[in-house]
Amino acid sequence: MLSPSVPSDAACDASDFGAAFGFAGGEWRLSPCRALWWAEEQALVVADLHLEKASWYAKHGQFLPPYDSRETLERLTAAQAATGACRIYALGDSFHDSQGPMRLESGAADLLEALARRAEVVWITGNHDEGLADSTLPGTVAEELTIRGIALRHIAEPGTQGAELSGHFHPKLRLRLQGRLISRPCAVLAGNRMILPAHGTLTGGLDASAPPIREALAPERKLEALVTASGKVLRFPLPA
C-alpha cells in the first residue's frame, strides 16, 4: 500500500505512483521521477543513477557542481518513502565509474546508508560500474537476476523471448508540438520487455526510436514510449 506521508519538497510523492499499467502479467506504476513500482515484489526498479558523474568530470578538468549524487539519492529516497518499498533493484551504471563509490561525498553517503536501512538495495552491474562487487556499498551485487520470471539486467539482450527489464540507453521521447521540440525521459515498452529511463540527475538521453534501442529489443517491432503525466501513463507509438 502506498504511503501518503512524504516530505513536502520531495520529487516523488504517493500520487505520482497512481497510474497503473500492465506488463509481464503484473501491475506496475511508473512515476514522473523515473522510478518503476513493482507491486508484487514491493520493490522499486530504477536504472542508470550514474552517481558521482560530476566528480568524474572534475577529475578530468571539467568542473561541475558536485551535488548530482545527493539530488539523485534524495529523489530515490522520496520514491521509497512514497511507496514503502522493501527493496530497490538498480539496473546498472549506478556509479559513473568503478571508483565512484570511493568518491561518494559525505551527504550522499549518509543518504545511501539511510536508504539501505529502510530497504534492501540490489545493485545489478553495468558497463560503467563493474567494480561494484569489490566495494563496501550497502546491499548486494549481482550481474543479473531473474525474479518472477523477469530478467533484470543492465543491457537488453536482442532475441530474448522471456520478460526483461533493463536500462543503459537513457531513452527520451522527443515530440514537436506547436513548433516547439519537447524532450522527456521515458520507458520503452516492447511486448514483455521494457527499457527504463535513466534515474540519475546528470544523465543525457537517446531518442526512444533510435536504431540502437530497436536493435536491443529485436525482434519485437512494435515499440511504445511510456511517459507519466498528471497521474496517467501516456503511451506514444514509436515510428519504425
- Chain segment 65-108, per-residue pLDDT in tens: 667 899 999 999 999 999 999 999 999 999 877 877 888 888 99
Q: Which pLDDT score is estimated for 2?
A: 41
> Does a structural domain hold residue 5?
no
Read off the CATH number of the domain in which 36 is found.
3.60.21
> Does a structural domain hold residue 12?
no
> Does a structural domain hold residue 181?
yes
Q: What percent of the chain has pLDDT over 70?
A: 88
Q: Which pLDDT score is estimated for 6?
A: 30
The yes-or-no verdict on residue 12 having pLDDT over 50 is yes
- Pick 20 or 192 by higher pLDDT: 192
- Report the chain's terminal Cα–Cα distance, integer Å: 39
Q: Which pLDDT score is estimated for 180?
A: 86
> Does a structural domain hold residue 11?
no
> Does a structural domain hold residue 104?
yes
> Does a structural domain hold residue 6?
no
Q: For the sheet with 206-207, list strands across it.
A: 180-185, 171-177, 206-207
Alpha carbon distance 195, 165 (integer Å)? 6
- Pick 156 or 64 by higher pLDDT: 156
> Does a structural domain hold residue 1?
no
What is the total count of domains within the chain? 1
Q: Which pLDDT score is estimated for 56?
A: 55
Q: What percent of the chain has pLDDT over 90?
A: 62
Element (H, E) at 83: helix 68-83
Phi/psi of residue 189, each to 5°? -105, 130
Q: Which pLDDT score is estimated for 7?
A: 31
Lowest mean per-residue pLDDT among 2-11, 98-107, 154-163, 195-204: 2-11
Average pLDDT over residues 175-203: 91
Average pLDDT over residues 6-29: 73
Q: Which pLDDT score is estimated for 33?
A: 85
Domain that holds residue 183: 19-237
Q: Which pLDDT score is estimated for 217?
A: 96
Question: Mean pLDDT in the chain?
Answer: 87
Q: Which pLDDT score is estimated for 55?
A: 64
Bridge partners, 173 (sequence order): 184
Largest CA distance in the chain: 51
